[in-house]
Structure 1
Amino acid sequence: MARVARDYHESLQQANMDDEDPADTEDATAEALNAVDARVPEAQGDRIRQGITYGEIEDALKRSNKGKAAGLDGIPYEFWSTMSERFKTLNTEEKPEFDPLELLHLAYRDMEINGVDPKTGFAN
């Protein structure tokens, strides 16, 4: 049932997309973005430029809705929560454990600094 709903909504998103010129899509996107008159307050801009922190990732994971569908990567929140708790329990100086939140932190920082590879389609 979920697959049918997903396929239906994907087909709606893709309707008439095959006929469109990518340059037209880019022009329309740029025009729409230029029409938006929104500014980030300076204090918030400063905070955003500092980049995401480990603590923010940890807090977001704690606040996430459990039992919801997985994201684009297919990994549910419960996986990250469970792995994070395991890390906290088992990690010692003598026997370091894999820190899943540090992996997320490094991945997010990499995207903030270097952007997303356009070939992945991740940001579409």
Structure 2
Amino acid sequence: DNVKEALKLSANNKAPGLNGICYKIWKTLNGRFENARAHEKRAFGIISTLRRVFNDIKENGIAPRTSFSE
């Protein structure tokens, strides 16, 4: 899927995005999720969470009074 592919292709040693979180953290969270799933354990799925956030923004936009995209 697009979110997983974008994360995979992102460089680790780049400046953080607008949210202040560097790509290495997102990749680490996804790696922990995949490892837990491989061992049939419950885990937090960052890819599905990011997908939900992106889809919500796509459908509803960003609240006018926030500085989310600045």
Length-normalised TM-score, structure 2: 0.88
Larger radius of gyration: 1
Aligned equivalent of 1:68, options 3, 8, 14 = 14
State the match for 1:106 in structure 2.
Answer: 52
Match of 2:43, SS state, is: coil
CA distance in 2, matches of 1:75, 1:123: 14
CA distance in 2, matches of 1:87, 1:118: 34
What's the RMSD between the two structures over aligned residues?
A: 1.1
State the match for 1:89 in structure 2.
Answer: 35
State the identity as a percent: 35
State the match for 1:58 in structure 2.
Answer: 4
Length-normalised TM-score, structure 1: 0.52
Match of 1:67, SS state, is: coil
Contact 2:18/2:69 (<8 A) preserved: no
CA distance in 2, matches of 1:65, 1:96: 28
Query: Which AA in structure 2 matches 1:113?
Result: E
CA distance in 2, matches of 1:84, 1:110: 21
Structure 1 segments (4+ residues) deviating >3 Å: none
CA distance in 2, matches of 1:83, 1:115: 26
Larger relative helix fraction: 1
